[in-house]
Structure 1
């Protein structure tokens, strides 16, 4: 076990290179995204479903996001839902705003939602041990009936402006190359 660094070094190490909340957001973003992706099992899309596109304004109001620096914006939300015979039984939605702007109360609520247990019981005679209810996270679905169509669905809505940034970089490089070639020809 190594000795603890002096207070100044500990503060600098905690803040990371450059310091401030931006570094914390850059470090936390991959971990948070990895945690969300681990909650999303690969589910087949329903072939008979008709999906309606909504406007970007509507989507932006439903999801959060954060700025990882350098102009790159990332936003995402996650929705977990259980349907029994086509009827929505339970739904949990998490929308992540700018991580650097989260208040302690919002962080507590977000942590509570991420560690919540959804219990869906279909039919009579279902039971769950108390210790599972007390410490469990995720979704438990119990079914004692025959011929039930049960769907457990996790949807992750992720968005980034990375493609726009790449296009802008390409335009800038093309202009720079053209200017350099025209100046070199004289």
Structure 2
């Protein structure tokens, strides 16, 4: 075993027993000192965090403005498209309604033409002849009215003894037959004779 010399022990003890003035103190860490910091460091950190928060708040406000403007644009655009779509739909409905009305009118005309042709084809020959003969009745009625007006004017100027007596109701009641036409023609001839005699 190694034995220590008595002089070495005293030398080590002399080195450890230095004066407090000659000893150099190492810097104390915050953990060893109980977690205490300087008040200036806290202020710096607080100012730094507040600046970051303000910047983030400004960024958020700008993003909100951008989002609101974008939403407003989308809303206006959607309303414009909706109105355009409604107008287009109304125009299309009106066109379809007009086309339907035209088709219905054409079908109605065709049905009327077909029914008229069918009725003409199934009318007996005697009735066809009557319809053909009855067509020129309208101008005869006009002529009769003119003759009546002229007779009334002439009868006003004639005395009562020379006025011809004509039963016009007989013609009006049965003017569709040929026999009544003959009577009417005879009455007209008599009126002409009476005018000549009165003149």
Question: Which has the larger strand fraction?
Answer: 1
Question: Which has the larger helix fraction?
Answer: 2
Q: Which has the larger radius of gyration?
A: 2
Bigger relative contact order, structure 1 or 2 (CA pairs below 8 A, ≥6 apart)? 1
**Under TM normalisation by the shorter chain, which class is it?**
under 0.3
Give the TM-score taking structure 2 as reference length: 0.23
Give the TM-score taking structure 1 as reference length: 0.24
